[in-house]
Amino acid sequence: MRPPLLSFTDTIVYQNFKDPRTEEEMVQGVRERLVDSIRERLRADVKVGVSLSGGIDSSVVAGIVNHLLREGHQIGSESENERLSCFGIAFDEDSGFDESSTANRTADFLGVKFHKKHMNEEQLANCFADATWHNEQPNPDLNFIGTYALSELFREKGFRVNINGQGADEILGGYNIFLPDFLREPDHSFNGPTVSDSEREAELHKSEETLNKVYQGRLDLSGTSVARRQLNNTLTPAQMTAAFPPLPFKKEFLPSNNKVDPQLTYAESIHGVMLNELSQKWHPLHTAQYVFSKAHLQNLLLSNLGDRGEMAHSIEGRTPFLDHHLTEYVNNLPPSMKIRRAENGEWVEKYVLREAAKPFITDEIYKKRKHPYSAPVEFPKDGPMYKLLKELVTEENVASLGFLKAKGVEQLVEEVFETKEMPAFRLVICLAQWVVLQRRFGVAHARSEAELLDVSELKEGSNVMLG
């Protein structure tokens, strides 16, 4: 019999008590709930497929679906004897962002049909505007185009439902940004082996310094800011904000103090009272996961890398990792069941998922480290992407937006393709997306409060004169 499920907020006192369950019981609990969740999502009166990348999340879903079909379960409108169909996107092999070869090996291991679409630079550039229009908001990564193209592939093959692996990283501590907050405090709830406090603190310092280099020194490692204190001293929110390039806003569109603190916005808007007063009773990893799920997961990942790209081609995305029975169970697991130190000294993310999914995946996937889903970021000068960004990111186009400084943006595009700096590239593609959105939706030139006041007074004066 399963233990009673607890809500997410019940975890606020969880770190103060030893979990009585054995590790094997917790692994089995995750496996049972994940299989149940996927079984429920096989039901449909249309053709159902599975997205398959080279990562563990989609591979687990594909493996369990294949297992259920072999047991006699039906997937969508297909007959019981029909093989599973999986779908994937491949980028250029030399880009450093292509995992399709791993996906090929997983598909061969499972014996499934694998439909793959190759997205080279020209195709990424050709889909840029349409994918941006359907997303309705900028994304500092071209990965949203991959999702858009993947959904188009589903439709071309006559499928209408995509069972995918979204949500696993959020509930199971899959991102490397979670590591410092996992190490920030001891895991008092875990009943198994843990590292010593001195070793944990050394690893914490090492992980923070490593990530701060990734974000060009933009992280507040002191832990003294108001936002850090309100957010259980977690570093994850700082990394969430640092991942987005700072836009060159005009002064009149900034707050009166000219200071923008996205972390403080998180602290004050994401159930602020609960975070401020109660989250200190959570382990910092749980606080970090909560903030990420309430912000990035629902506002960016499930939207830009999910629903909107899928709806563009009339595809329904199903997310078994976000089934409430599974998420409630996982939320009540000790942090050390999510992140675990391996024998080689490396920290392994999603530990409990790897153990729960071991019967359904290849040994390669079981041992593979997390590789964030991202698209290529370096392209040659005078290629399709260069020409696209040169056409979109001009002083005239950016100035037409109204809220951004336009001077120097054309030179910025040139510098991006010369220096290959990722932060600058992210800024340029965001600027390009703003221009596309203004064009496609017919958005008017933004006016500051002062400009609106001047226009209002001018209209009033004109009415007086006309009178």
Element holding 114 (H helix, E strand) = strand 113-118
Q: What is the pLDDT of residue 227?
A: 81
Where does the pLDDT of residue 202 fall: very low under 50, low under 70, confident under 90, or very high at 90 and above?
A: very high
Looking at residue 13, its pLDDT comes to 39
pLDDT (tens digit per residue) in 284-305: 999 999 999 988 998 899 999 9
pLDDT at position 254: 84
pLDDT value for 1? 33
pLDDT at 280: 59
Least confident of 46-60, 259-273, 314-328, 437-451: 259-273
Please check whether residue 326 is in contact with residue 33, taking contact to mean a CB–CB distance below 8 angstroms.
yes
**Under a CB-based contact definition with an 8 Å cutoff, are residues 230 and 267 in contact?**
yes
Strand spans (E) along 319-359: 339-341, 347-349
Q: Following DSSP, what letter does each residue of 182-213 receive, concatenated?
A: HHSS--TT--S----HHHHHHHHHHHHHHHHH
**Unique residue bearing structure tokens 């990564």:** 141
Distances from the Cα of 21 to the Cα of 9, 18, 352, 424, 432, angstroms: 20, 9, 13, 48, 52
What average pLDDT does the segment 158-171 reach? Answer: 97
Residues 6+ positions from 456 with CB-CB distance below 8 Å: none
143/301 Cα distance (integer angstroms): 10
Judging by DSSP bridges, how do beta strands 347-349 and 339-341 pair with one another? antiparallel
Region 23-45: mean pLDDT is: 97
Q: How many CA atoms lie within 13 A of 291 on its CB side?
A: 36
Per-residue pLDDT at 70 exceeds 50: yes
Q: Model pTM?
A: 0.90
Share of the chain above pLDDT 70, in %: 90
At 404, which amino acid appears? L
Per-residue pLDDT band at 449 (split at 50, 70, 90):
confident
Residue 457's pLDDT is what? 53
Q: What is the pLDDT of residue 212?
A: 93
Indicate whether 333 pLDDT > 50: yes
The listed CATH number (3.10.20.600, 3.40.50.620, 3.40.47.10, 3.90.76.10) that belongs to domain 8-171+293-367: 3.40.50.620
User: pLDDT at position 464, please?
Assistant: 41
Answer yes or no: is pLDDT of 453 > 80: no
Q: What pLDDT does 383 receive?
A: 95
Q: How far apart are CA 104 and CA 368, in angstroms?
A: 15
Q: Which of 75, 7, 9 minimizes the C-alpha distance to 46? A: 75
Query: Average pLDDT for residues 158-174, to the nearest whole number?
Result: 97
Residue 81's pLDDT is 56
The confidence band for 96, taking pLDDT boundaries of 50, 70 and 90, is confident
**Are 289 and 171 spatial neighbours (Cβ–Cβ below 8 Å)?**
yes
Identify whether the C-beta of residue 162 lies closer than 8 Å to the C-beta of residue 49: yes
> Average pLDDT, whole number, for the chain?
88
Q: Given 3-state DSSP classes, what are the helix, strand and coil percentages for the chain, each rounded to the nearest 5? A: 60, 5, 35
User: So where are the chain's domains?
Assistant: 8-171+293-367, 379-467
| pLDDT at 216 exceeding the cut of 50 | yes
Confidence check: pLDDT of 31 > 50:
yes
Q: Which residues contact 216 (CB under 8 A, 6 or more apart)?
A: 423
Mean pLDDT of 60-83: 88
pLDDT digits (tens, 9 = 90+) for 419-439: 999 889 999 999 999 999 999
Residue 10: the pLDDT is: 44
Stronger pLDDT, 353 or 80, i.e. the higher one: 353
The confidence score (pLDDT) of residue 16 equals: 64
Does the pLDDT of residue 235 top 60, yes or no?
A: yes
pLDDT at 257: 62
Query: Which candidate, 244, 44, 246, places its Cα nearest to that of 161?
Result: 44
